[in-house]
Chain A
Amino acid sequence: MTEFTAQDVIRPRWSPALRARAIRRFMLAGLIIMIGTGVAAVCLEIFGRSLSPLWLTVGIVLPSVLAFGALFVVFAITAHALLGRLLKRLAFVLFIGSLAGIVLTAWGASLLFGLVDRIVAARPDPIAQTIFGGELTTDEIVRFFAATPEDPKALEAPPALEFVAYLLWPWQFRLLRDLVLALVILGFVSVTASFAIWWERKVAGRIQSRLGPMRVGGWHGWAQGIADGLKLVQKEDIVPGRADGPVFRLAPYLVFIPVLTAFLALPFSDRWVLRDLEVGLVLVLGLLGIDVIGVILAGWASHNKWSMYGALRVAAQMVSYEIPMGMALLLPVMAAGTLRPGAIGALQSGGFHTWLAFCSPFLFAAAGVYFVASLAACKRAPFDLPEAESELTGGFHTEYSGFRWAVFFFGEYAAMFVVCGLAVLLFLGAWHSPLPASWGESLAGGSWWQRGLYALLFSGPAWFIAKTYALLFVHIWLRWTLPRIRIDQVMYACVQVMLPMTMLLLLGQMFWQLLVPPDGITARAANIVCTLAGAAIVAAFVGTAGWGYLNRRRLVGPLAVNHLPGS
């Protein structure tokens, strides 16, 4: 240890070596805790869940709390000075930490809630749903664990069990549970956004024969999203002098929060859903619709004419495109006969030919219409007129910088995820793999690894997320390929092309369902044709890309410049 001087007492001076050592220690600690947690969790799975609440607490809850704490300390150490130089390592830690935190929290929470539910269920009389009810007492919890078949009223318990009971007690309240789940969703959205930022930059780089970010985080600059976010948070907080201050400050959150709320009803799988609402789809659509307000107000409050133009364009474009988007959504709703996202997803479990997009020609077309409309509703290129930087210098977010700007972008990427997720949910088989789920039925009820295999092969949140990211890739791909459309063309495409088209599709689907027997030859033929067409589209895209990749031209010889990655 180096000796402390008076200077250090007043203002601790960290030498780079000291700081590096500290960070290494905390990283190590975090890593050990995470690994330990994982091992413990696996043990728990193997040895049965009801084994010991003490182990549950010690193995899951405490480590995740400690891991978060360690990460926070690392953050505090690194952030206090020279953030730029350490950004790389910091971003690495944060990224791993947040990912692990989210997964651990979600998983731990589900175990914890399940346990508490079982305790509640074990009580002789049911409890009303209250938020502060406190009907379940710690004594009851202790009794639940201490109870033996011989003596159901036994109260002899080690002190540690009381401690555990004290920890478990709050989780009987819905509000607390929802808070935890909201945190999980928030974490997921943040990670998705920062990942999408990095991904977008990488894809853009590749499309433009560049490498994209390569530095932050080591391998292919994969922590660039976090680094961008941190940079933005550090930037000066600017509100234009003549802007409408409160509205200006509020606007980004009006964009972000509705989108975040939309995750409330978005199912990642049949069990991974916060609330499988009866009107889930309409609610998601409505929440996507109201983030327009935030964008408009942002443009208005900036007191900038270009922002104003952006706001006007947003108002015109997003409100218009909501209509074809909503009507395209009505087709799968009609086919499924419900607005409940979970029910629609569950319909499509029988292999990829049962995915709704392939069930009738009208649904197939509606999937395309929906995708285009969702591009417009997310203000993504080629529909990025509200922020068109070659015309409006940034549109509604011209005057925004730093954290608020970051919030806009988090909102944008989250909205992209939601619309792509809706497309996957309604048209592309939701959380099911292309294999029929019935093939894996024997696995579904098996041991933990069998269940994991089932989730990987047949149906699980991984499939939903993967498919959504695939669509997200198409969003990114289009953005870096296509020029921007003009506002009159945007409105023309909406009002005179897509709107009549969706209406006709709706009528067509109606008659299809009325007239075509679901098991008849027509329906089967249409199913096959649509499936083949979908496969052909995917194959065409992949094939074109592959052909281009294989036939790329490089300039060889003395003129070839190494710092330019080929074409």
Chain B
Amino acid sequence: MTAMPDAMFTSEPDLLFDAARDGPDGLRTEEMLINMGPQHPSTHGVLRVLLRTDGEMVVEAVPHIGYLHRCAEKIGENLQPYQFIPKTDRMDYLAAMNNNHVFSLAVERLLGVEVPERAAYIRVIMAELNRIASHLVAFGTYGLDMGAFTAVLYAFREREYILDLFEAACGARLTYSYITIGGVTFDLPERFIERLAEFLDYFEPKIDEYDRLLSYNHIFVKRTAGVGVISAEDAIAWGLTGPCLRASGVRWDLRRCLPYEIYDRFEFDIPVGRPGGGGIPRGVVVGDCWNRYFVRMQEMRESVRILRQCIAAIPAGEVRAKVPKNVRLPADEVYFEGENPRGQLGFLVVGDGSPIPWRVKARGPCFCNLSITSHVCRGVLLADVPAIIGSIDIVLGEVDR
């Protein structure tokens, strides 16, 4: 296995400029190998996609990942679960609250810990707020991928408010480690709920503005409708989850279908991809980039709905169950998945009777979602590759872990 040269440190033969192009690798005369990344504006981090192109047509796209691999799972085998929570922040760093949440739930399940009522509400509030923040980034950067520069500034303006709220709650703006095993680290600061309500009143009409600005923009629709179509069968087979799966018409959301925490108490819809017509622009196909994008826009509305219900129902009380710090994990294992903004984040935690887990495995939604890239990016145009990768909405921190 070691015979293969390292792709990081050796470059491919210079197929554009060397005369011997029709070599043994079977490239046709017009074909060209070209690296999109690891430093590229629209690979959303250090992803490298090796493209085989024929003019503007992409014959094959092979993603190469691992540039951000930080051995999170190995670290997890050497730390106690509560110590591992900051590491989960750094997986999907745009949805750190959700990562904390899912990991805490997995460990709580292993330990059999009950979370206090108020803590559960706070967790849902944080998870949904972070879902909005994450989808805002997805919306903005997708605009950037399409060459619309302005959306990202609007998205970040709104996200700034959410980060202010997070900062008020836990002092951090990106990696929170707020949700922890047994509840949350601190109670909400005063007037948090009022400010949240204010934000929701401000934010909800903004989504319409985004739709006017980008979602229904003719050029944007032309760029994304019917591009990178993933059928429901393919989506399930490749293990796609989250908005990517829903955009393919699969009405599946763990929060509704296998509810965890207190999600069964809330009223909300699962937006799915829809074909063109009836309010949806013409040319849109179920499972295309536009639907993947638009599902996220709709999910923001649903998150707002959930948040409003939370505000109405949040009780007073404890925010953290009593979990001893040095608790020994039972010699059992648990696999738990929760619905993250980008799909189902799963943790397999194997205990061996010591305080430190024997094995922590993270199933990143982006990892699975990205694996379909080479299947979809075949026979598309060069400009569609950023469109497709952007619509899958990956965070390399989670792909590489």
Query: Which residues of A pack against B, CB within 8 Å?
Result: 204, 207-210, 242, 303, 305-306, 308-309, 312, 381-382, 384-385, 388-391, 393, 479-489, 553, 555, 557-559, 561, 564, 567
In the complex with contacts A384-B147, A389-B41, A555-B198, A208-B220 CB distance below 8 A: no
Q: Which 5 A-B pairs have the closest CB atoms?
A: A484-B147, A208-B153, A483-B146, A483-B148, A390-B42
In the complex with contacts A390-B386, A483-B147, A489-B222, A558-B195 CB distance below 8 A: yes
A204, A242, A391, A559: which contacts B382 (Cβ < 8 A)?
A391
Enumerate B178-224 residues with CB–CB distance to A below 8 Å: 191, 195, 198-199, 202, 205-206, 209, 213-214, 217, 219-220, 222-223
CB <8 Å contact, B17 and A485: no
CB <8 Å contact, A555 and B41: no
CB <8 Å contact, B143 and A555: no
A204, A390, A559: which contacts B144 (Cβ < 8 A)?
A390
Q: Which residue of B lies closest to A564 (CB)?
A: B157
The CA-CA distance from A480 to B143 in the complex, in Å, is: 11
Is B145's CB within 8 Å of the partner chain A? yes
CB <8 Å contact, A208 and B160: no
A564 contact set on B, CB distance < 8 A:
157, 160
In the assembled complex, how far is the CB of residue A496 from the closest CB belonging to chain B, in whole angstroms? 14
In the assembled complex, how far is the CB of residue B296 from the closest CB belonging to chain A, in whole angstroms? 17
Is B348's CB within 8 Å of the partner chain A? no
A488 contact set on B, CB distance < 8 A:
56, 381
Count of A-B residue pairs with CB < 8 Å: 112
The CA-CA distance from A484 to B159 in the complex, in Å, is: 25
Is B164's CB within 8 Å of the partner chain A? yes
B55 contact set on A, CB distance < 8 A:
312
In the complex with contacts A553-B205, A564-B160, A486-B143 CB distance below 8 A: no
Which among B161, B191, B219 has the highest number of chain A CB atoms within 10 Å? Answer: B219
B354 contact set on A, CB distance < 8 A:
none
The proximity string for B residues 132-159 relative to A, scoring 1 for CB distances below 8 Å and 0 otherwise, is: 0000000000011111111001100100
CB <8 Å contact, B383 and A486: yes
Q: Which residue of A lies closest to B195 (CB)?
A: A559
Which among B32, B145, B146, B199 has the highest number of chain A CB atoms within 10 Å? Answer: B146
CB <8 Å contact, A391 and B143: no
A555 contact set on B, CB distance < 8 A:
161, 198-199, 202
Is B322's CB within 8 Å of the partner chain A? no
The CA-CA distance from A389 to B32 in the complex, in Å, is: 20
CB <8 Å contact, B149 and A480: yes
A558 contact set on B, CB distance < 8 A:
191, 195, 198
In the assembled complex, how far is the CB of residue A410 from the closest CB belonging to chain B, in whole angstroms? 22
CB <8 Å contact, A559 and B164: yes
CB <8 Å contact, A482 and B222: no
CB <8 Å contact, A561 and B16: no
Query: Which residues of B pack against A, CB within 8 Å?
Result: 16-17, 32, 34, 40-42, 55-56, 143-150, 153-154, 157, 160-161, 164-165, 191, 195, 198-199, 202, 205-206, 209, 213-214, 217, 219-220, 222-223, 381-386
B220 contact set on A, CB distance < 8 A:
483
| Sampled A-B contacts (9; CB under 8 Å) | A204-B150, A210-B153, A242-B17, A303-B17, A484-B147, A485-B222, A485-B223, A488-B381, A559-B165
The CA-CA distance from A385 to B198 in the complex, in Å, is: 41
A208, A306, A382, A487: which contacts B147 (Cβ < 8 A)?
A382
In the assembled complex, how far is the CB of residue B21 from the closest CB belonging to chain A, in whole angstroms? 13
In the complex with contacts A208-B154, A483-B148, A390-B41 CB distance below 8 A: yes
Besides A308-B16, A558-B191, A558-B198, 14 other A-B contacts (C-beta < 8 A): A208-B154, A209-B157, A309-B56, A382-B219, A385-B383, A388-B147, A391-B382, A480-B150, A483-B147, A483-B214, A486-B384, A555-B161, A555-B202, A558-B195
A207 contact set on B, CB distance < 8 A:
150
CB <8 Å contact, B219 and A483: yes
Q: Which residue of A lies closest to B55 (CB)?
A: A312
In the assembled complex, how far is the CB of residue B212 from the closest CB belonging to chain A, in whole angstroms? 10
In the assembled complex, how far is the CB of residue A396 from the closest CB belonging to chain B, in whole angstroms? 15
In the assembled complex, how far is the CB of residue B65 from the closest CB belonging to chain A, in whole angstroms? 19
B56 contact set on A, CB distance < 8 A:
309, 487-488
A489 contact set on B, CB distance < 8 A:
222-223
B contact patch SS:
helix
A309, A479, A486: which contacts B222 (Cβ < 8 A)?
A486
CB <8 Å contact, B191 and A391: no
A312 contact set on B, CB distance < 8 A:
55
A390 contact set on B, CB distance < 8 A:
41-42, 144-147, 386
Q: Which residue of B lies closest to A482 (CB)?
A: B219
Which among B160, B202, B220, B383 has the highest number of chain A CB atoms within 10 Å? Answer: B383
B154 contact set on A, CB distance < 8 A:
208-209, 567
The CA-CA distance from A385 to B223 in the complex, in Å, is: 13
B386 contact set on A, CB distance < 8 A:
390-391
B157, B206, B214, B219: which contacts A484 (Cβ < 8 A)?
B219
The CA-CA distance from A555 to B200 in the complex, in Å, is: 10
The CA-CA distance from A483 to B217 in the complex, in Å, is: 8
The CA-CA distance from A308 to B17 in the complex, in Å, is: 11
B42 contact set on A, CB distance < 8 A:
390-391
A389 contact set on B, CB distance < 8 A:
41
The CA-CA distance from A208 to B213 in the complex, in Å, is: 12
In the assembled complex, how far is the CB of residue B42 from the closest CB belonging to chain A, in whole angstroms? 4
A393, A480, A486: which contacts B381 (Cβ < 8 A)?
A486
The CA-CA distance from A308 to B14 in the complex, in Å, is: 14
In the complex with contacts A484-B219, A555-B161, A305-B41 CB distance below 8 A: no
The CA-CA distance from A198 to B220 in the complex, in Å, is: 28
A567 contact set on B, CB distance < 8 A:
154, 157, 206, 209
Which among A207, A482, A488 has the highest number of chain B CB atoms within 10 Å? Answer: A482
B147 contact set on A, CB distance < 8 A:
381-382, 384, 388, 390, 482-484
A204 contact set on B, CB distance < 8 A:
149-150
A305, A382, A553: which contacts B34 (Cβ < 8 A)?
A305
CB <8 Å contact, B198 and A208: no
In the assembled complex, how far is the CB of residue A154 from the closest CB belonging to chain B, in whole angstroms? 71
In the assembled complex, how far is the CB of residue A560 from the closest CB belonging to chain B, in whole angstroms? 9
B381 contact set on A, CB distance < 8 A:
486-488
In the assembled complex, how far is the CB of residue B226 from the closest CB belonging to chain A, in whole angstroms? 12
In the assembled complex, how far is the CB of residue B34 from the closest CB belonging to chain A, in whole angstroms? 5
Q: Which residue of B lies closest to A554 (CB)?
A: B202
The CA-CA distance from A204 to B148 in the complex, in Å, is: 12
B222 contact set on A, CB distance < 8 A:
485-486, 489
The CA-CA distance from A426 to B279 in the complex, in Å, is: 41
B217 contact set on A, CB distance < 8 A:
482-483
B40, B149, B161: which contacts A208 (Cβ < 8 A)?
B149
B213 contact set on A, CB distance < 8 A:
481
The CA-CA distance from A78 to B191 in the complex, in Å, is: 53
The CA-CA distance from A531 to B147 in the complex, in Å, is: 34
CB <8 Å contact, A559 and B148: no
A309 contact set on B, CB distance < 8 A:
56, 382
CB <8 Å contact, A487 and B383: yes
In the assembled complex, how far is the CB of residue B147 from the closest CB belonging to chain A, in whole angstroms? 3
B385 contact set on A, CB distance < 8 A:
391
B146 contact set on A, CB distance < 8 A:
390, 483-484
The CA-CA distance from A480 to B206 in the complex, in Å, is: 19
In the assembled complex, how far is the CB of residue B110 from the closest CB belonging to chain A, in whole angstroms? 38
In the assembled complex, how far is the CB of residue A459 from the closest CB belonging to chain B, in whole angstroms? 37
The CA-CA distance from A242 to B150 in the complex, in Å, is: 36
Q: Which residue of B lies closest to A210 (CB)?
A: B153
The CA-CA distance from A235 to B206 in the complex, in Å, is: 42
In the assembled complex, how far is the CB of residue A390 from the closest CB belonging to chain B, in whole angstroms? 4
The CA-CA distance from A382 to B202 in the complex, in Å, is: 31
The CA-CA distance from A402 to B157 in the complex, in Å, is: 32
B144, B145, B150, B198: which contacts A557 (Cβ < 8 A)?
B198
Q: Which residue of B lies closest to A486 (CB)?
A: B383
The CA-CA distance from A188 to B171 in the complex, in Å, is: 52
Which among A242, A308, A483 has the highest number of chain B CB atoms within 10 Å? Answer: A483
CB <8 Å contact, A561 and B34: no
